[in-house]
Amino acid sequence: MNTFYYLSIWLHIICASFWIGGMLFLPLVLLPAIKNNPERRQILMITGLKFRFYGYITIALLLLTGITNMYFRGIHFTWIFFTNSNYGKLVIVKGILFLIILLASMIHDMFVGRKAVGEIQESDRDKLKLIARWTGRILLLISLTMAYLGVIISRGG
């Protein structure tokens, strides 16, 4: 294997760590820390927008390095490979989960999350906050599943 392959693997792992770490940081560290802060709404909005910016860069890098890693491993992008091998089927599952993450992230960031943060102090309705919370949890579970699949794939499927 060449140096570019190892750099691609390294960047893929760093990006996955950033993505999952950020999703764990928000509910486990930030939200409890600002629970009674009068500026909670503003802090959440600023933090969410900052994470969203770097999160989408990370998602793009994960896609790029994932494809690059397959190329360096000599994977042929053929229908036969993806349908007839266990490795290929795992890659398809990981790709589908990636698309779900992308779609759910966009829905969470563009609609639900923004509205939930906006309504924290404006009303007693918790519906949007609940949806935003569960969207984040589902994204985390899918991301952890993808990390697990990545381990299986990297070990030969």
pLDDT in tens, 24-48: 998 899 989 998 999 987 888 888 8
- H-run or E-run covering 42: helix 40-72
Q: What is the pLDDT of residue 117?
A: 56
Q: Name the pTM for this structure.
A: 0.84
pLDDT at 59 over 90: yes
Are the CB atoms for 89 and 82 separated by under 8 Å? yes
What gap in Å lies between CA 15 and CA 55, rounded to an integer? 9
Which pLDDT does position 124 carry in this prediction? Answer: 44
For 77-135, write each residue's pLDDT tens digit: 888 888 888 888 998 999 999 999 999 888 877 776 666 555 555 554 567 777 777 88
Distance of CA 95 to the CA centre of its chain: 12
Residue 34: how many other CB atoms lie within 10 Å: 16
The pLDDT value given to residue 60: 96
